[in-house]
Structure 1
Amino acid sequence: MVGHRTVDVNGIRLHIAEEGEGPLVVLLHGFPESWHSWRHQFGPLAAAGFRVVAPDQRGYGGSDHPEDVAAYSILHLVGDVVGLIHALGEERAFLVGHDWGAPVAWHTALLRPDLVRGVAGLSVAPPFRGKRPPLRAMEERFGGRFYWNYFERPGVADAEFARDTRTALRKFLYSASGDAPGAGRPESTLVDPAGGWLTNMTDPEVLPDWLTEQDLDELTESHAKGFTGGLNWYRNLDRNWELTAPWHGAVVTPPALYMYGDRDLVPAFPGARERIARLPELMPNLRREPILLPGCGHWTQQERPAEVNEALIDFLTEPRN
C-alpha cells in the first residue's frame, strides 16, 4: 500500500509517496502533474522487489512552493533529488522521469553519476545543452508563440489555468494524449497570445479510458495552490542553459533507457527526432534502442502502464557489471 509523508530536502519540505522495500527507485513527474501520475507503477515495481518513492517536486502538490523564480533552476531540482536520496538513507538510486521529470533525471545522472544506478526517461529525451539559450531561440523561431514563451510571461498562463483548474487540467490531459484527434502535431505547441493556450484545446465529453474522474479530482486538488510553481521551471530555461555551461558536450554515463509515444507532441519539437537518433552516442550505456509505443500520446506511464511497467522492470532487474 502506498504511504505518504514529508521529508526535509535541500532547504525545503517535499511530500513523498512510497511503497515497497529493496533498491530505491525515484519516480519524477512532469507538468502539470504530481506523484499521482505514477499510480500504476507503485504496485508492480514494489512487487518486483524495489523501494518506490515519488515526490511532489518543488512547486507542486503537498511540497513547498518557493516564491523566488530563481529557486526553480535545474541545479535546485537536481539538488532536491540528491537530497531526497540521502534523506531516505540511501547511497544510490534508480531514477525514472516523465516530461519535466525526465530532464531532472537526465541531469542528475549527468551531474552526479555516482548516485545513479540507472536512469530512464519517458517522452523527453536528454536535453543536452544546445548552442543558444532555448527561450530566446524558440521566441525567434516562432515569433513568441511557442508555449515556453507564453509560460515565460509573469502571471499570464498562471491566471489562465487557475480560472478553472479542473477544466484546464482536463483539457491538458486529453489534448496531449494519444486519444485526441491530431495528437502529436507540432502546431499544437503554438499559442494565440491574445486568446491563451486553452482556447483551441478540446474539452472531452467523456474521459479516455486511462483517466478517471477520481484521477482528475486528485490532480485538481494537487493544484490548489495554482500553477506558478510548475511554470517557474520553464522560466528558468535560459538560466539553466547558462548554469550548465561546464557540462556542455558531456554524456550521460549510467545505464539508460528511453521510451516515448508515437503520438506524443514532444518528439515533434524542432531537433527532437535528430537527438533521439543520436542517443546511442550521447548515452554510451543506453541498454536498448529507444522504445516507441504505438498510439500513445504524451502521458506515457498513464496511457500505457502495462508496457511501461514491463520495460522498467526489465531495465531495473537486468544484470549490472
Structure 2
Amino acid sequence: MTEIAHRRIPVNGLDMHIAEAGSGPLVLLLHGFPECWYSWRRQLVALAEAGFHAVAPDQRGYARTGGPEAVEEYTIHHLVGDAVALIAALGEEQAVVVGHDWGAPVAWHTALFRPDVVRGVVALSVPHRPRSSRPPVQVMREQLGEGFYMVAFQRPDLPEAGLERDLPDTFRRMLYAASGDAPMLVPILPDGGGFLDVCPAPDELPGWLTEEDIAVYAAEYAHSGFRGPVNWYRNLDRNWELTAAWHRAPITPPALYVAGERDMVLAGAKDRLHRMHDYVTDLRDIVLLPGCGHWTQQERPDEVNRELIAFLRSL
C-alpha cells in the first residue's frame, strides 16, 4: 500500500508540517476545523495511486505546524499566502487546490487572488459565497444571536479553553455531532455554554470513525491546541475589510463542489447552490452525497475520491 510521508517546510515564517504521497501534478489538500492533515488520509493514498502528488499541510495555527499568538496573523491573506508559498516551496508553479470546511474558503480565495497559480479548485462542504455588503459577524449576530458559534468564537480565551479541557472527548463529540449519523447539529450555544454543549456524546461511533482516529486527533492537537484554529474565526470581519477590492469578483479556474446532503453548512441553502455559477464561472459540477454530513471526505472517502480523480483527469 502507498505510504504517507511526513516532513517540514519553511513557509512564511512557519515550520509547516506536511503529509504527502505520490508523484505527478500537485494537489494541495487544505483541511478544516477542527482537523489537520489526518482528515485527508484516504485521499492522500488514492490520489497518489491515481498518479498525483498529494500534499496535506497542517495549516497555520494547527497541529504540528502551530503558529503565532497574534489574532491578526490569521487573516485570509495570511492563509492564502501560505498556500501559494507552499506550492512554490514544493517546486511547482501551479496546483489544484482542494479545501474542506475552513479549507474551502482558503481554496476559493486562492483561486480568486491567484488564478495564475490554481489549475483547478475543489471545495467540500462550504460553497463559494460572494462578499457580503456588511461585516459578517454583525450579520450573524443580528440573524442568529450571540449564541451562534461563530459569534461566540469572537470571545477571548473561552472557546479554546472549553475545547482543550478533554481532547478525546472534544473530538469524539464534534466528529459525531456534525456527521450524517447524528441528528442535525444546530450550533447555537446556550447562555454561558460552550460548543460541546450542543454536541452529544455518541452511544456508538459511526462506521467511518474509530477510537484510534480520535486518539490521533487528540495527539495532533496536544501541543498547539485550539488557539490558532479559533483565531481563524476571529478574523471574519477583518477578512471582509481586506477583501473589498475583490467584492463580487469572479472565480475563473475550473471548479468542483462536493457536499453531504445532511451537512449543517447547507441547512436551508441547498436550493441556492446554483447561484454559485454566477461567480464561479467554470463550475463543472455540484455533487451532493446522500446521507453524508459535514465530514465529507472522511464519511464518504470512496465517493469523494472518485469525484476528485475524475475532475483532476479532466483538466
TM-score, normalising length from structure 1? 0.95
2:112 is matched with which residue: 110, 113, 122? 110
Structure 2 partner of 1:189 = 187
Instruction: Give unpaired runs (5+ residues) of structure 2.
Output: none
Q: Distance in 2 between matches of 1:212 and 1:229?
A: 26
Change (3 A) 1:76 1:101: same
Instruction: Spell out, residue by residue over 1:42-66, the C-alpha distance to the aligned partner (whole angstroms, 9 max, x if none).
Output: 1111111100000000110110321
2:127 is matched with which residue: 114, 125, 128? 125
> Contact 1:151–1:231 at 8 Å: present in 2 too?
yes
Measured after TM superposition, the shift of residue 191 of structure 1 is: 0.8
Measured after TM superposition, the shift of residue 287 of structure 1 is: 1.1
Task: Indicate the SS of the match to 2:122.
Answer: strand
Measured after TM superposition, the shift of residue 189 of structure 1 is: 1.7
> Contact 1:38–1:301 at 8 Å: present in 2 too?
yes
**Residue correspondences, number:** 312
Instruction: Spell out, residue by residue over 1:178-229, the C-alpha distance to the aligned partner (whole angstroms, 9 max, x if none).
Output: 000x22x5xx121113122212321012211101111111101111121111
1:150 is matched with which residue: 152, 158, 161? 152
Measured after TM superposition, the shift of residue 275 of structure 1 is: 4.6
Instruction: Spell out, residue by residue over 1:250-298, the C-alpha distance to the aligned partner (whole angstroms, 9 max, x if none).
Output: 01100000011111000116xx44651201222111112x101000000
Percent of paired sites with the same residue: 56
Structure 2 partner of 1:305 = 301
Q: Which amino acid aligns with 2:24?
A: G
Q: Which amino acid aligns with 2:302?
A: A
Structure 2 partner of 1:254 = 253
Task: Indicate the SS of the match to 2:284.
Answer: coil
2:279 is matched with which residue: 276, 279, 282? 282
> Contact 2:63–2:225 at 8 Å: present in 1 too?
no
Task: Indicate the SS of the match to 1:64.
Answer: coil
> Contact 1:125–1:275 at 8 Å: present in 2 too?
no
Q: Distance in 1 between matches of 2:40 and 2:238?
A: 29
Give the superposed CA RMSD.
1.1
> Contact 1:15–1:55 at 8 Å: present in 2 too?
yes
Measured after TM superposition, the shift of residue 145 of structure 1 is: 1.4
> Contact 2:129–2:276 at 8 Å: present in 1 too?
no
1:29 is matched with which residue: 24, 28, 31? 31
> Contact 2:261–2:288 at 8 Å: present in 1 too?
yes
Return structure 1 stretches of 4+ with deviation > 4 angstroms.
none
2:16 equivalent to 1:14: yes
Q: Which amino acid aligns with 1:276?
A: L
2:232 equivalent to 1:233: yes
TM-score, normalising length from structure 2? 0.97
Q: Which amino acid aligns with 1:277?
A: H
2:211 equivalent to 1:209: no
Instruction: Spell out, residue by residue over 1:81-108, the C-alpha distance to the aligned partner (whole angstroms, 9 max, x if none).
Output: 0000000000000011000000000000
Q: Distance in 2 between matches of 1:28 and 1:275?
A: 25
Instruction: Spell out, residue by residue over 1:85-132, the C-alpha distance to the aligned partner (whole angstroms, 9 max, x if none).
Output: 000000000011000000000000000000000000000001321111
Task: Indicate the SS of the match to 1:141.
Answer: helix
Q: Which amino acid aligns with 1:208?
A: P
Change (3 A) 1:275 1:59: farther
Q: Which amino acid aligns with 1:96?
A: V
Worse-matched range after superposition: 124-133 or 239-248: 124-133
> Contact 1:96–1:121 at 8 Å: present in 2 too?
yes
Measured after TM superposition, the shift of residue 19 of structure 1 is: 0.6
